[in-house]
């Protein structure tokens, strides 16, 4: 399955929110949709899920307009949308039936996911009696019970402790391995970087960069090394013009213009006791800041 969002526009009254958004992804991959608050992330997700229509543009599956009768979506919203005073099993089965499952199929699937989420003994409790983390896990079940083709996760790890986050991370990996399309929308860059093969960064209603995350990182100048060693101070004393301390046992080394990074790495390894040495790559957080910076906008306004 190959998903394409092509040249999508959307306005609310006189405010144009999306200005020709385009990106793509396929089965067995995770895509991170990133942007600052108000960039248009929620709008494009709602258009993708057919909550409302775009003013212009297309949502395509394998080159054809998406048929929402045959392509199923699972959605985990940032804001919880379940009923706090209803029992967990009751409402999970209800939502699964809304997605086209028979009651028998829904009950079986809900029981399975409660076991996977380590909540089998909680099914007859009212949602409001659960911790915030467990409520998030119940919300997550609503996105998975009907075995959707495309899973949209909006801040999926918000409010989770490391143990519960680990449970969800394992399940997300399984969904990707099973060939699902998984779409993340999150400000937690570490999770997006951990899962996502591709990214699409939206800034002021347009795509500022999209593509394979590994390739995007490789396009940056690779002239810096990260070195971790007990000999940091000694390295700095010899290469003081090329080094910048990053921590008590870590520094950044700028490779001279007339040398290759690999040659410098070999030399450093031969001269010192090195725990780790690698080419520095920008983090997703670095890329996000660069492509959503207001600096260019301010310069443009000044020039005008």
What's the whole-number mean pLDDT along residues 154-179? Answer: 91
> At the fourth CATH level, which superfamily is domain 2-217?
P-loop containing nucleotide triphosphate hydrolases (3.40.50.300)
Q: pLDDT (tens digit, 9 = 90+) per residue, 41-50?
A: 999 999 999 9
CA distances from 269 to 226, 234, 248, 264 (A): 12, 13, 19, 9
Q: Is it true that 2-217 and 221-279 share their CATH fold?
A: no
CA distances from 87 to 134, 152, 303 (A): 14, 25, 60
What's the whole-number mean pLDDT along residues 7-20? Answer: 95
- Give the three-class secondary structure for 108: helix
- Whole-number pLDDT of residue 303: 37
Cα angle: 107, vertex 146, 109; to 5 degrees: 30
Q: Which residues pair with 190 in a beta bridge?
A: none
Q: Which residues contact 254 (CB under 8 A, 6 or more apart)?
A: 223, 224, 242, 243, 244
Nearest to 117 by CA among 171, 40, 181: 171
Query: H helices of 151-231, where?
Result: 162-177, 189-195, 213-218
Confidence of residue 298 (pLDDT cuts 50, 70, 90): very low
Q: How many other CB atoms sit within 10 Å of the CB of residue 304?
A: 5
Nearest to 291 by CA among 218, 216, 215: 216
Nearest to 43 by CA among 212, 185, 231: 185
Does 295 score more than 70 pLDDT?
no
Contact present, 268 and 235 (Cβ < 8 Å)? yes
Does 106 score more than 60 pLDDT?
yes
- What CATH number should be reported for the domain whose range is 221-279? 3.30.70
Q: What is the pTM of this model?
A: 0.85
- Whole-number pLDDT of residue 300: 43
Q: How many other CB atoms sit within 10 Å of the CB of residue 252?
A: 14
What's the whole-number mean pLDDT along residues 288-302? Answer: 64
CA distance 151 to 68: 14
CA distances from 91 to 54, 106, 113, 225, 270 (A): 31, 11, 14, 53, 63
Q: pLDDT (tens digit, 9 = 90+) per residue, 181-192?
A: 999 998 889 889
List the domain boundaries for the chain.
Answer: 2-217, 221-279
179 DSSP 8-state letter:
T
CA distance 62 to 3: 7
Confidence of residue 304 (pLDDT cuts 50, 70, 90): very low
Q: pLDDT (tens digit, 9 = 90+) per residue, 48-73?
A: 999 999 999 999 999 999 999 999 99
Q: pLDDT (tens digit, 9 = 90+) per residue, 190-243?
A: 889 999 999 999 999 999 999 999 999 988 888 999 999 999 999 999 998 899
Contact present, 72 and 149 (Cβ < 8 Å)? yes
Q: How many other CB atoms sit within 10 Å of the CB of residue 217?
A: 16
Confidence of residue 294 (pLDDT cuts 50, 70, 90): low
């Amino acid at each position: 399955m190959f998903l394409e969002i092509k040249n999508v526009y959307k306005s609310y009254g006189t405010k144009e929110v999306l200005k020709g958004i385009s990106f793509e992804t396929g089965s067995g991959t995770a895509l991170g949709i990133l942007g600052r608050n108000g960039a248009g992330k929620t709008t494009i997700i709602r258009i993708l899920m057919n909550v409302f229509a775009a003013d212009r543009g297309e949502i395509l599956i394998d080159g054809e307009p998406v048929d929402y009768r045959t392509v199923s979506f699972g959605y985990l919203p940032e804001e919880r949308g379940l009923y706090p005073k209803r029992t967990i099993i009751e409402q999970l089965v209800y939502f699964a039936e809304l997605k086209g499952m028979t009651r028998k199929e829904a009950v079986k699937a809900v029981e399975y996911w409660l076991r996977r989420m380590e909540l089998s003994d909680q099914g007859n409790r009212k949602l409001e009696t659960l911790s915030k983390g467990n409520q998030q896990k119940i919300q997550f079940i609503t996105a998975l019970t009907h075995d959707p083709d495309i899973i949209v996760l909006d801040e999926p790890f918000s409010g989770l402790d490391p143990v519960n986050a680990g449970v969800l991370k394992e399940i997300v990996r399984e969904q990707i391995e099973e060939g699902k399309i998984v779409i993340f929308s999150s400000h937690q860059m570490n999770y997006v970087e951990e899962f996502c093969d591709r990214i699409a960064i939206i800034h002021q209603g347009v795509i500022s960069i999209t593509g394979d995350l590994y390739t995007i990182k490789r396009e940056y100048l690779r002239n810096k090394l990260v070195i971790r060693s007990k000999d940091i101070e000694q390295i700095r004393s010899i290469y003081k013009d090329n080094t910048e301390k990053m921590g008590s046992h870590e520094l950044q080394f700028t490779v001279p213009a007339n040398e290759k990074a690999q040659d410098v790495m070999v030399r450093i390894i031969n001269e010192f006791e090195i725990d780790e040495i690698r080419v520095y790559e920008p983090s997703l957080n670095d890329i996000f800041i660069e492509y959503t910076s207001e600096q260019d906008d301010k310069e443009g306004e000044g020039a005008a």
